Amino acid sequence: MLTLRKASERGAANHGWLKSFHTFSFANYWNPREQGFSDLLVINDDRVAAGKGFGQHPHRDMEIFSYVLEGALEHKDTLGTGSVIRPGDVQLMSAGSGVAHSEFNHSPTEGVHFLQIWIVPNVGGAEPRYQQEHFSAAQKRGHLQLIIAPDGTDGALSVRQDARVYAGRFNGDEAASLTLAPERYAYIHVARGSVEVNGQRLQEGDGARLRDEREIHLSHGEDAEVLVFDLRPRELPEMP
pLDDT in tens, 92-117: 999 999 999 889 889 999 999 999 99
| Domain 2-231: homologous superfamily in CATH | Jelly Rolls (2.60.120.10)
Cβ pair 127, 95 in contact under 8 A:
no
Cβ pair 190, 170 in contact under 8 A:
no
Cβ neighbours of residue 87 under 8 Å, at least 6 residues apart?
Answer: 68, 69, 70, 71
* Main-chain dihedrals φ then ψ at residue 24, nearest 5 degrees: -115, 165
> pLDDT tens digits for 116-149?
999 999 999 999 999 999 999 999 999 999 999 9
Please report the DSSP string for 46-115 in residue order. EEE-TT-EEEEEEE-S-EEEEEEEES-EEEEETTS-EEEE-TTEEEEEE-TT-EEEEEEES-SSS-EEEE
Parse the chain into domains and list their residue ranges: 2-231
Alpha-carbon distance of 110 to 64, in angstroms, equals 24
Going by pLDDT thresholds of 50, 70 and 90, the confidence category of residue 81 is confident
